[in-house]
Amino acid sequence: MPITVAIYEDNSALREALIILIKGLESFTLVGAHGDCNEIEAQLHFTQPDVILMDIDLPGRSGIEGAYIVKQISPSTEVLMLTVFDEDEKVFNALCAGASGYLLKKTPPSKILEAIEEVYSGGAPMSPVIARKVLQLFPKKPAVNLELDKLTSREQEVLTSLAKGNSYKMVATELNISIDTVRTHIKRIYEKMHVHSVAEAINKAFLKK
């Protein structure tokens, strides 16, 4: 079954390029392309896409606000930020709002398509410069964190690997376990931390002060 995708991008030329990119493959179905997210509630109720490509700098509501609204209305929809911004505050606010991935607009089209598939499969794709910024949040010595204390050492390893932007498959390879085992660990992490997404778990474990 094709992955349904919606686009929120105010640059008409880029929006059209993304439309052509998504429509060019049978593995994706485009269910909407919009220049702003001011009517996103109604649009979500109508389409409920699997993945949303979301710009940050939109007229009216920002993409960060849009990402938050998406996760409130349609928690199963994955939000993949696609933006020119690589500032720490923008990155972290987007992740805290519920975005599951963060790509810069200079990302090659083939990598954007791979990221859509990855985020749909439970991964957290990030451009290398963004992944580095997220990694810089980690202290040199682990700080006491009550949320992390809820997890077993293996569950902590899985969450740390996901925070690097690794897909489930990459986590499995890194930790030498099966993808099914990774999914089991993720399910338990969600239950223990009372979260519903990888980004929310990372935020709760590593980003909150």
In terms of domains, do 178 and 125 share one?
no
CA atoms of 17 and 22, how far apart (whole Å): 9
pTM of the model: 0.68
Are both 12 and 96 inside the same structural domain? yes
Question: 98 and 187 in one domain?
Answer: no
Same domain? 166 vs 65: no
My answer on whether 158 and 114 are in the same domain is: no
124-160 residue pLDDT tens: 888 888 887 777 765 544 444 566 778 888 998 998 8
Residues 154 and 193 in one domain: yes
Would you state the pLDDT for residue 138? 56
Instruction: Work out how many domains the chain is built from and give that number.
Output: 2
* CATH number of residue 192's parent domain: 1.10.10.10
- Both 26 and 91 in one domain: the answer is yes
Q: For the segment 65-122, what is each residue's pLDDT rounded down to a tens digit?
A: 999 999 888 888 999 999 988 887 788 888 888 898 999 999 999 999 999 998 998 8
Mean pLDDT within 169-196? 90
Which of the listed residues 89, 106, 134 is the one where a domain comes to its end?
Answer: 134
Domain that holds residue 179: 138-207
Q: What backbone phi and psi angles, to 5 degrees, belong to 34? A: -130, 150
Is the model's pLDDT at 190 over the cut of 70? yes
Residue-level pLDDT at 207: 62
Per-residue pLDDT band for 205 (boundaries 50, 70, 90) equals confident
Backbone angles phi, psi at 104, to 5 degrees: -85, 150
Boundary residue ending a domain (134, 166, 186): 134
